[in-house]
Chain A
């Protein structure tokens, strides 16, 4: 299969040599690979953006999952913001609340757009709709935000992993937060290289993050990891825009994430057998939801 880029280095080099944003390189590659027209591709992404908008809207009205483990936090955070007392700043908290909103909708079996997975689906839209209020982007720029996120996610998915079962949470919310940071940089007017730096800065702070969902459900701690993923994405983007660079090149950071995932014990890769899932409270919640025997009872896979 002929692709335009398979590493971040190639992606940035292409964007810089052709003086195009990363989103444009992603669109061109999509046309090349799928043989679909630009209009069809943009339209599909526009549709995904609509799904994200609806999910956030629904989550901000307050939802609750069937298990009762999650729901309602997005509303709490929005109300706190409105009180004017927030310490970390309104853009960050807005992103956090919207990331939480999306994941609460996901946990409640609502409709979401996986970015790159359902468990990490809050971070990319959460940050997008928060920076939207600050940067006032056009619809086209918002769609491009998703293509830029996708370009970095494409490299991670093909060179490492975006699956919690394969690589832990670093592969899911780690990838999502890093992808979002890169996209924020582009929307804020940064260079393709600065997008790569933002990606690296965030990913370096996600390395080693395990996947340890209580009762095997995409709820605890997934929703709060989306919250912090959104916060890290914004801070990482700001650092890169300030001119901070990563000493380790992005592709090597991705490679490190891959190796760390491979050496992670299976108890910490979405089996609900280790970490928070194995705490007394985690186990008690599992027993309450499913009864004793359902999750994590058979041998390690």
Chain B
């Protein structure tokens, strides 16, 4: 089922005018910010399909920057996000693309600072819901509606079992899980959506498991 909670129907509470083009856009930006783990210094945002055609009228650009500043869909500061970005030293550009993507509302966000760069592609699927479909070249499916754990690891036997054991030991139930890799034996990405909140102890425990490169989380 695509929709699981009544608050996806009666909600979200949001700054208008469009649930898909404003709230969904803000959520994609905010997930990118969360996964980056800190305020990026610059952002390059590629917009596709209906996003590319109507982003100004729907303030999708303002909303995505709001998301990159960690604002929720109902944060009034979304309206003045461009000014707020200037204050925190976030520079950005929006590039409407002509290329056709599988989904009409697609945004590819490249963000970075002096130490790293991250690239995320998100789609806005209606009613303010969004999904991340690609992260740093890894195809994946992440709804942002569950707490989630994203683990970058070496593509070798036993890593997935170790992580899922760690979750099981703390009574954390996996709602949805996906593993992707670019090439056999190289870097892989585990995306685990769970039913319970993930606490810091659990993250520390997973961090020190063998073959784990990086870990980030999304709270519900």
Interface set of A (CB-CB < 8 Å, partner B): 1, 3, 6, 26, 29-30, 33-35, 41, 44-45, 47-48, 51, 65, 67, 105-119, 121, 124, 146-147, 149-151, 153-154, 157-158, 161-163, 165-166, 179, 215-219, 270-272, 289-290, 294-299, 301
- Knowing A151-B6, A165-B105, the reply to whether A107 touches B13 (Cβ < 8 A) is no
Contact A150 B10 (CB under 8 A): yes
List, in ascending order, chain B residues with CB within 8 A of A147's CB.
6, 10
List, in ascending order, chain B residues with CB within 8 A of A108's CB.
16-17
Cβ distance B64 to chain A, nearest Cβ, rounded Å: 15
List, in ascending order, chain A residues with CB within 8 A of B196's CB.
35
Q: Which B-chain residue is minimally distant from A157 (CB atoms)?
A: B3
Contact A106 B8 (CB under 8 A): no
* B208 interfacial contact with A, CB 8 Å: no
* B121 interfacial contact with A, CB 8 Å: no
List, in ascending order, chain B residues with CB within 8 A of A65's CB.
17
- Complex alpha-carbon distance, A117 and B1, angstroms: 18
* B94 interfacial contact with A, CB 8 Å: no
B105-127 Cβ-contact flags toward A at 8 Å (1 or 0): 10000000000000000000111
- Knowing A163-B126, A165-B50, the reply to whether A290 touches B56 (Cβ < 8 A) is yes
- Complex alpha-carbon distance, A271 and B50, angstroms: 7
Total A-B pairs, Cβ < 8 A: 170
What size tier do the contact residues of chain B reach?
35 or more
- Complex alpha-carbon distance, A121 and B13, angstroms: 10
29 interchain pairs, CB-CB under 8 A = A3-B1, A29-B6, A34-B5, A35-B196, A41-B6, A107-B17, A108-B17, A109-B59, A112-B14, A112-B16, A113-B11, A114-B13, A114-B19, A117-B18, A118-B18, A124-B10, A146-B10, A147-B6, A149-B10, A150-B9, A154-B3, A216-B54, A216-B57, A218-B16, A218-B18, A270-B50, A272-B54, A295-B57, A301-B100
* B12 interfacial contact with A, CB 8 Å: yes
Contact A118 B17 (CB under 8 A): yes
Cβ distance B47 to chain A, nearest Cβ, rounded Å: 12
- Complex alpha-carbon distance, A289 and B7, angstroms: 34
List, in ascending order, chain A residues with CB within 8 A of B76's CB.
111
- Complex alpha-carbon distance, A116 and B125, angstroms: 13
Contact B126 A165 (CB under 8 A): yes
Further contacts, 11 of them, CB under 8 A, given A150-B7, A157-B9: A30-B7, A106-B17, A107-B16, A108-B16, A111-B76, A114-B13, A117-B128, A118-B23, A163-B20, A179-B9, A301-B50
List, in ascending order, chain A residues with CB within 8 A of B54's CB.
216-217, 272, 294-295
Contact B53 A297 (CB under 8 A): yes
Interface set of B (CB-CB < 8 Å, partner A): 1-20, 22-23, 49-50, 52-54, 56-59, 74, 76, 79, 98, 100, 104-105, 125-128, 195-196
List, in ascending order, chain B residues with CB within 8 A of A289's CB.
57
Contact of A215 among B4, B23, B57 (CB under 8 A): B57
- Complex alpha-carbon distance, A157 and B105, angstroms: 18
Q: Which B-chain residue is minimally distant from A299 (CB atoms)?
A: B100
Contact A117 B19 (CB under 8 A): yes
Contact A116 B10 (CB under 8 A): yes
List, in ascending order, chain A residues with CB within 8 A of B125's CB.
163
- Complex alpha-carbon distance, A217 and B55, angstroms: 10
Contact A158 B16 (CB under 8 A): no
List, in ascending order, chain A residues with CB within 8 A of B52's CB.
298
Contact A30 B6 (CB under 8 A): yes
- Complex alpha-carbon distance, A63 and B66, angstroms: 23
Contact A150 B126 (CB under 8 A): no
Q: Which of B1, B6, B74 has the most CB of A within 10 A?
A: B6
- Complex alpha-carbon distance, A282 and B110, angstroms: 35
- Complex alpha-carbon distance, A1 and B23, angstroms: 26
Contact A162 B126 (CB under 8 A): yes
List, in ascending order, chain A residues with CB within 8 A of B57's CB.
67, 215-217, 289-290, 294-295
Cβ distance B171 to chain A, nearest Cβ, rounded Å: 12
Cβ distance A152 to chain B, nearest Cβ, rounded Å: 9
Cβ distance B184 to chain A, nearest Cβ, rounded Å: 32
Contact of B10 among A105, A153, A163 (CB under 8 A): A153
